[in-house]
């Protein structure tokens, strides 16, 4: 239940608002002056404060500034008389969410409060999910005890904290390039900003440029409005381009120009837009062979190949298999409501001796199948 605090020196208004908002399934506290409000703020930690601008001991702007310093996450809605509009505007400059002019309609007030609380709850859910995602995709989640995996973890940490703007991930399908890309993002100072992902093989050439760079209204038949591209969306964060080898020759030229200048124009636009974004490109194909054969530009390969990371196939680091198998077993137990305790020596030996052409992804799929079909522990 969200908590609301009403700060107003009019007793009748405090009582009215408390009754009206309690009916909206909100927990409501009231304060008659600034001192009481500041003390109550520490005790009840409200999500939202309805704050009158004129109070007996201090004005609402003073209280608002104090709240912004000590509790920046709290939403404040100002209540003001018509003649105090200038002060209300000052309150908005000090990051009040909104203001209402007395006498106000109670239904309008309820709507404003619910809109503000919905924004708070969405923000909190986003932060919660981001914290979960950060925990799932930190470098420590690159599991394994082989020398190759230990070196990979160390290198990813080093690159993540660097100023590197371009990283190239190479390795067979299923080796965990997406996990490494997320580790590069979530273990870096960029983790507060977006991680944007695009599979270059999953989008047609005609749409690719618009998807990457965005477009202006009217740039083509279906361009009903301006749209930001993925590069712009990832500003200050990371753009992960999987299967970069499948990018068309035409798009490669435009993308190369962006990598050189770190600026671009939206499709149909004339303004150069500068961004700060880390590009993590990945390929399960031999890019040097693609260059020799012709489908991939040599100059783009050189531009991407500043910091290459090669991910070893699972069959080349067999000592990682028991660790990964136990991890995927635990995940599958939770996912499918089972309680399989572990592996017999024969089962572990079989897993460790298999070739694993699909690498870590194949191992995970096999473990899920075993858990789903298993009838013993």
Q: What is the pLDDT of residues 326-362, one digit of tens each?
A: 999 999 999 999 999 999 999 999 999 999 999 999 9
| Beta-sheet strands, E only, within 262-366 | 263-264, 273-274, 278-283, 308-310
Max distance between CA atoms of the chain, in angstroms, equals 83
Please report, for residues 65, 178, 292, the alpha-carbon distance to residue 296 in angstroms, rounded to integers and kept in the order given: 57, 22, 8
Q: At how many degrees (to 10) do helices 321-336 and 359-373 cross?
A: 40
pTM above 0.95, yes or no: no
Q: Which of 87, 88, 86 is nearest to 100 (CA)?
A: 88
CA 15 to chain centre: 42
Looking at residue 92, its pLDDT comes to 62
Query: pLDDT digit string (tens) for 181-230?
Result: 999 999 999 998 999 999 999 888 878 888 999 988 887 877 777 888 99
The sign one gets for the Cα dihedral 203, 206, 211, 217 is negative
Looking at residue 226, its pLDDT comes to 82
User: What is the C-alpha separation between 159 and 234, in angstroms, rounded?
Assistant: 18
Length of the chain: 377
User: What is the C-alpha separation between 170 and 313, in angstroms, rounded?
Assistant: 11
The pLDDT profile of the chain, 377 residues, written as one tens digit per residue, is 789 999 998 899 999 999 999 999 898 999 998 889 888 888 888 899 998 888 888 877 888 888 888 888 888 888 877 555 555 566 566 567 787 888 888 888 898 898 888 888 877 777 666 666 655 678 888 999 999 999 999 999 999 999 999 999 999 999 999 999 999 999 999 998 999 999 999 888 878 888 999 988 887 877 777 888 999 999 999 999 999 999 998 899 999 999 999 999 998 888 899 999 999 999 999 999 999 998 999 999 999 999 999 999 999 999 999 999 999 999 999 999 999 999 999 999 999 999 999 999 999 999 999 999 988 88
Judge whether 277 and 263 are in contact, CB under 8 Å.
no
Judge whether 31 and 37 are in contact, CB under 8 Å.
yes
């Amino acid at each position: 239940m969200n908590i609301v605090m009403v700060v107003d020196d009019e007793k009748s208004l405090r009582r009215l608002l408390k009754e009206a908002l309690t009916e909206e399934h909100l927990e409501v506290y009231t304060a008659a002056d600034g001192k009481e409000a500041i003390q109550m703020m520490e005790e009840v930690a409200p999500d939202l404060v309805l704050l009158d601008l004129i109070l007996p001991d201090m004005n609402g702007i003073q209280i608002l500034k104090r709240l912004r310093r000590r509790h920046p996450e709290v939403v404040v809605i100002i209540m003001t008389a018509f003649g105090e509009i200038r002060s209300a505007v000052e309150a908005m400059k000090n990051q009040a969410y909104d203001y209402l002019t007395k006498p106000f309609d109670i239904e309008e007030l309820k709507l404003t409060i619910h809109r503000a609380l919905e924004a708070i709850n969405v923000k909190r859910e986003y932060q919660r999910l981001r914290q979960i995602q950060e925990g799932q995709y930190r470098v420590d989640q690159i599991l394994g005890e082989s020398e190759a995996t230990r070196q990979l973890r160390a290198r990813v940490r080093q690159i993540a904290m660097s100023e590197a703007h371009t990283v190239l991930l190479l390795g067979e399908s299923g080796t965990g390039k997406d996990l490494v890309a997320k580790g590069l993002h979530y273990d870096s100072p960029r983790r507060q900003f977006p991680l944007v992902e695009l599979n270059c093989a999953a989008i047609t050439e005609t749409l690719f440029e618009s998807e990457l760079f965005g477009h202006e209204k009217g740039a083509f038949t279906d361009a009903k409005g301006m749209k930001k591209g993925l590069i712009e969306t990832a500003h200050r964060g990371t753009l992960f381009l999987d299967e970069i080898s499948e990018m068309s020759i035409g798009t490669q030229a435009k993308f190369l120009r962006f990598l050189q200048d770190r600026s671009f124009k939206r499709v149909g636009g004339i303004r150069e837009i500068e961004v700060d974004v880390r590009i993590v490109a990945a390929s399960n194909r031999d890019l040097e062979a693609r260059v020799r054969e012709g489908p991939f530009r040599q100059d783009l390969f050189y531009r991407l190949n500043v910091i290459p990371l090669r991910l070893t196939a699972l069959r080349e680091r067999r000592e990682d298999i028991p660790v990964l198998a136990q991890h995927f077993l635990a995940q599958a137990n939770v996912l499918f409501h089972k309680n399989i305790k572990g592996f017999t020596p024969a089962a572990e030996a079989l897993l460790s001796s298999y070739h694993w052409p699909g690498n870590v992804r194949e191992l995970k799929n096999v473990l899920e199948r075993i858990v789903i079909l298993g009838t013993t522990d």
